[in-house]
Amino acid sequence: MSVVAHNLSWGVKRKTIVSDVSLTVGPGETLGLIGPNGSGKSSLLRLLAGLRRPASGRVEINEQDIAQVPRKALSRQVAFVQQSAETDTNVAVADVVRLGRTPHRSALSGWSEADETAVRGALARVDMTSRSAQAWQTLSGGERQRVHIARALAQVPQVMFLDEPTNHLDIHHQIEILRMVRDLDLTSVIALHDLNLAAMFCDRIVVLQEGSVCACGTPQAVLTRDILHDVFRVTAQIEGSADAGRPHIRYSAG
């Protein structure tokens, strides 16, 4: 399923946060969204997922304007994973993943075979089946993030948006989660801070600067010394790796 944004703009008060962004994500593609702090990554992601209404422009998912699609119908196709969403409620892992079935259930309908299959599959996908009865509060940060992704998978979406899913995780879990997302058979857009991880796992990368797209293309085309210098204000060496088209960035301490 494709995601297309046409001239998206959005802001608060008089400050423009996303300005005139157009982009295309092809079916099954993994798109990375990078940019310095405050460049509008999170906001753009929410506009794409339909969680915020753009001031102008529109988003089409599967050639349908999402502003015309009811909230519930949209969340049967689109899942959104926030960065480290928390709760004080004493819920079990399985309860959290079952929440993913919300858009598929009517107000009073029972729990169906399809619901159970989706939840089981999602738990297995993130390797948390054996933990399904465990309390949320007892999970580590990496496990919580995996459960959030399982919940998104239980929605059986065709498009997944992830806002810095690897925040606060150790490097093993960062790689594990991104590998899992890349290997999923769906279209995904991931906001990321770590440029090397973006280079490793994304098919294409969009670089945001002050709310606008300043570069878009394969990791190799986008992660250049000039862009790193101009946008991220760092000096770095770019090394091509054996893995074709996946550059590796080595920052210089200055």
Partner 1 sequence: MSIGVIDREIVRLGLLTLVSATVLAFAVAFATAIGDYTISLGTVSLAIGNGLGLTAAELPPIEESVVWDLRLSRALVAAFAGAGLALCGAILQALLRNPLAEPFVLGISAGASTGAVCVIILGIGAGSLTLSAGAFAGAFAAFGVVALLSNGATSGPNHTILAGVAASQLFNALTSYIVTTSGNAEQARNVMFWLLGSFGGARWPDVQLLAVVVPLGLVLCVTMARALDAFTFGDEDAAALGVSVGRIRLTLFAVTAVMTATIVSMVGAIGFVGLVVPHAARYLVGPMHMRLLPACAVIGAIFMVTADIVSRVIVAQQTVPIGVVTALVGVPFFAIILYRARPQT
Report the chain's terminal Cα–Cα distance, integer Å.
44
Judged by beta carbon, residue 97 or residue 200, the one nearer partner 1 is 97
Minimal distance, residue 14 CB to partner 1, in Å = 19
**For residues 59 and 156, what is the distance between their CA atoms, to the nearest angstrom?**
20
Judged by beta carbon, residue 95 or residue 203, the one nearer partner 1 is 95
Judged by beta carbon, residue 43 or residue 194, the one nearer partner 1 is 43
**For residues 43 and 62, what is the distance between their CA atoms, to the nearest angstrom?**
21
Judged by beta carbon, residue 74 or residue 228, the one nearer partner 1 is 74
Minimal distance, residue 88 CB to partner 1, in Å = 6
Judged by beta carbon, residue 3 or residue 199, the one nearer partner 1 is 3
**For residues 139 and 160, what is the distance between their CA atoms, to the nearest angstrom?**
23
**For residues 254 and 219, what is the distance between their CA atoms, to the nearest angstrom?**
24
Sign of the dihedral defined by the CA atoms of residues 187, 43, 195, 165, in that order: negative
For residue 123, give both structure tokens.
């738990």
Minimal distance, residue 233 CB to partner 1, in Å = 30
Query: What residues make contact with partner 1 under the rule CB under 8 A?
Result: 46, 49, 51, 71-76, 79-80, 82, 85-91, 95-96, 99-100, 102-103, 105, 107-108, 110-111, 113, 116, 137, 155
Minimal distance, residue 90 CB to partner 1, in Å = 6
Q: How many residues would you count in the chain?
A: 254
Burial class (CB in 10 A: 0-12, 13-18, 19+), 181: buried
Minimal distance, residue 194 CB to partner 1, in Å = 23
Judged by beta carbon, residue 110 or residue 254, the one nearer partner 1 is 110
Burial class (CB in 10 A: 0-12, 13-18, 19+), 138: exposed
Minimal distance, residue 151 CB to partner 1, in Å = 9
130 to 2, 108, 182: CA distances (angstroms): 34, 29, 24
